[in-house]
């Protein structure tokens, strides 16, 4: 009899499908039993997986918060265009639409003369001299304006060049770009550098945590290497050996994901008021709610995925018996 026929003999009593169903049931049952019996080892795995998931969630929130802060700064240093007194609302509206179509422009806000005056009065409420001066002047001395926000310093430059063109000189009194050009350039340079450093640090710490988690999983499986060897010597297939460890990985990953999710909900909920105050408006809980699927993907898929992959990789080393 040839060796190729050996497998057929071991399966003679059952159909292939029946064997697969039985095998899957046994793998799940064995995995669940082993999880229960090795709760100490699995607790360590759950702990490090939770730490890993929380780190990646933290990086996700830091990314959201830094984007919010950079956008806030960019809005503050955007281009303000002031129009001549006799410019009609239609001309301003037409220019506003044209600017909004320019590449890189993210926001264009129109502030009418009346709105500008109202805001000026609000800002100087209680300053009698200024308010009396306004009364003496009689007419509204303030100009209508549009505030432009763009996504890069080069976008700002091209918008500023467009606005400085001769065709707009008839309606534009002045714009702030000449004063803020250097600030815009510096801000975007800092933004780029900070994002680059953030990415490198995120990857670095992510890698460290992944290595720590994998080492913990490998160590817990290393203690069972003799058992794995015996299973192989008895004739167990690689899946029969690896399967229960992967089931344990799924359980550890799921529990770590649930713990991480609860901690994220609690932390974002209670930290939101402080973070809003510090950042000037960034709501952690609001960001969490609006990115719920992304957070769930990081936590559930990350936890279960890492649990399965790390266990499968750690067992692989001991299957060559």
Instruction: Kindly list the residues in this chain that would bind other proteins in the complex (CB under 8 A).
Output: 1-4, 6-7, 9-11, 13-14, 19, 22-23, 26, 34, 37-38, 224, 226-227, 229-238, 240, 321
Nearer Cβ to other proteins (7/129): 7
| Least Å from the CB of residue 187 to other proteins | 60
Residue 144 — φ and ψ, nearest 5°?
-70, 155
d(CA 4, CA 192): 61
| Least Å from the CB of residue 1 to other proteins | 5
Please choose, from the candidates 207, 309, 202, the residue with its C-alpha nearest in 3D space to the C-alpha of residue 252: 309
Residue 258 parent element (H or E): helix 238-279
d(CA 283, CA 65): 9
Q: In degrees, to the nearest 5, what angle opens at C-alpha 313 toward C-alphas 311 and 314? A: 65
| Least Å from the CB of residue 230 to other proteins | 5
Nearer Cβ to other proteins (105/241): 241
As beta bridge partners, residue 148 has 79, 108
d(CA 244, CA 24): 10
Nearer Cβ to other proteins (36/88): 36
| Least Å from the CB of residue 251 to other proteins | 16
| Least Å from the CB of residue 35 to other proteins | 11
Please choose, from the candidates 114, 108, 99, 173, the residue with its C-alpha nearest in 3D space to the C-alpha of residue 146: 108
Nearer Cβ to other proteins (2/138): 2
Nearer Cβ to other proteins (8/129): 8
């Amino acid at each position: 009899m040839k060796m190729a026929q050996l497998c057929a003999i071991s399966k003679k009593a059952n159909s292939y499908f029946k064997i697969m169903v039985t095998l899957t049931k046994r793998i799940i049952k064995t995995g669940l039993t082993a999880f229960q019996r090795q709760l100490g080892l699995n607790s360590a795995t759950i702990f490090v997986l939770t730490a890993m998931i929380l780190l990646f969630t933290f990086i996700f929130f830091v990314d959201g918060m830094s984007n919010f802060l950079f956008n806030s700064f960019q809005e503050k240093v955007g281009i303000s265009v002031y129009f001549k007194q006799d410019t009609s609302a239609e001309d301003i509206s037409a220019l506003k639409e044209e600017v909004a179509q320019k590449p890189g422009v993210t926001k264009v806000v129109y502030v009418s003369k009346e709105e500008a005056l109202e805001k000026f009065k609000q800002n100087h409420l209680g300053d009698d001299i200024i308010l009396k001066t306004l009364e003496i002047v009689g007419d509204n001395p303030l100009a209508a304006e549009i505030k432009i926000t763009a996504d890069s310093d080069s976008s700002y430059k091209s918008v500023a060049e467009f606005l400085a063109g001769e065709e707009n000189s008839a309606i534009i009194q002045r714009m702030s770009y000449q004063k803020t050009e250097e600030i815009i350039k510096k801000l975007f340079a800092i933004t780029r550098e900070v994002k680059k450093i953030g990415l490198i640090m995120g990857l670095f710490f992510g890698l460290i945590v992944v290595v720590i988690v994998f080492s913990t999983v490998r160590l817990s499986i290393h203690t069972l290497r003799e058992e794995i060897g015996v299973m192989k010597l008895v004739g167990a297939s690689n899946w029969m050996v690896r399967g229960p460890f992967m089931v344990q990985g799924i359980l550890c990953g799921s529990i770590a994901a649930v713990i991480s999710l609860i901690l994220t909900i609690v932390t974002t909920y209670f930290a939101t008021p402080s973070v809003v105050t510090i950042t000037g408006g960034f709501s952690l809980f609001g960001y969490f709610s609006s990115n719920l699927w992304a957070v769930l993907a990081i936590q559930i898929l990350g936890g279960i995925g890492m649990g399965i992959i790390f266990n499968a990789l750690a067992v692989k080393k001991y299957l060559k018996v």
